Amino acid sequence: MVPGLATWLSMLLAGAGASLDAVLPAEAAPAPMHRWERLGGADFLVVPAPAVTPDTPVVTYRVLVERRYAASADDFAGVVDEVLADAGGWAAAGYAFVPVEGDADVTIVLAAPKTTDRLCAPLRTGGAFSCGRGGRAVINANRFLHGAATYRKQLPAYRTYVINHEVGHLLGFEHRRCPYRGAQAPVMLQQTKSLSGCRRNATPRADELAVLAARPPRYLRERVAEVSTPPVTAAVADAATVRSREGRPPLRSAP
Ligand SMILES: [Zn+2]
Residue 244 has pLDDT above 90, yes or no: no
**Alpha helix stretches (DSSP H) within the chain:** 5-14, 20-23, 73-85, 113-120, 141-146, 155-170, 206-214, 218-226, 232-242
Question: Comparing 247 with 60, which gets the higher pLDDT?
Answer: 60
Phi/psi of residue 232, nearest 5 degrees? -60, -45
When the pLDDT of each residue in the chain is averaged and rounded to a whole number, the result is 80
What pLDDT is stored for residue 225 in this prediction?
60
Q: What are the beta bridge partners of residue 77?
A: none
- What is the percentage of the chain residues whose pLDDT exceeds 70? 71
| Cβ-contact 64, 46 below 8 angstroms | yes
Q: How far is the centre of ligand 1, averaged over its atoms, from the C-alpha of 15 (Å)?
A: 70
Q: How far is the centre of ligand 1, averaged over its atoms, from the C-alpha of 27 (Å)?
A: 48
Q: How far is the centre of ligand 1, averaged over its atoms, from the C-alpha of 191 (Å)?
A: 9
Q: What is the pTM of this model?
A: 0.74
Look at strands 106-111 and 58-66 and give their pairing.
Answer: parallel
If one counts every other C-beta atom within 10 angstroms of the C-beta of residue 24, the result is 11
DSSP-assigned states of every residue in 72-103: GHHHHHHHHHHHHH-TTSGGGGT-EEEE-SSS
Q: How far is the centre of ligand 1, averaged over its atoms, from the C-alpha of 32 (Å)?
A: 36
- What are the structural domains of the chain? 35-241 (3.40.390.10)
Q: How far is the centre of ligand 1, averaged over its atoms, from the C-alpha of 157 (Å)?
A: 17
Closest CA to 186 of 194, 172, 196, 176: 176
Q: How far is the centre of ligand 1, averaged over its atoms, from the C-alpha of 5 (Å)?
A: 63
Q: How far is the centre of ligand 1, averaged over its atoms, from the C-alpha of 165 (Å)?
A: 6
Q: How far is the centre of ligand 1, averaged over its atoms, from the C-alpha of 145 (Å)?
A: 19
If one counts every other C-beta atom within 10 angstroms of the C-beta of residue 38, the result is 8
**Interval 128-180: pLDDT, tens:** 999 999 999 999 999 999 999 999 989 999 999 999 999 999 999 999 999 99
Amino acid at the residue 85: A
Q: How far is the centre of ligand 1, averaged over its atoms, from the C-alpha of 164 (Å)?
A: 10
**Interval 192-211: pLDDT, tens:** 999 999 999 999 999 999 99
Q: How far is the centre of ligand 1, averaged over its atoms, from the C-alpha of 223 (Å)?
A: 25
What pLDDT is stored for residue 254 in this prediction?
33
**Interval 4-27: pLDDT, tens:** 444 443 443 444 443 434 444 445
**Interval 50-106: pLDDT, tens:** 776 655 678 999 999 999 999 999 999 999 999 999 999 999 998 889 999 988 999
Q: How far is the centre of ligand 1, averaged over its atoms, from the C-alpha of 168 (Å)?
A: 8
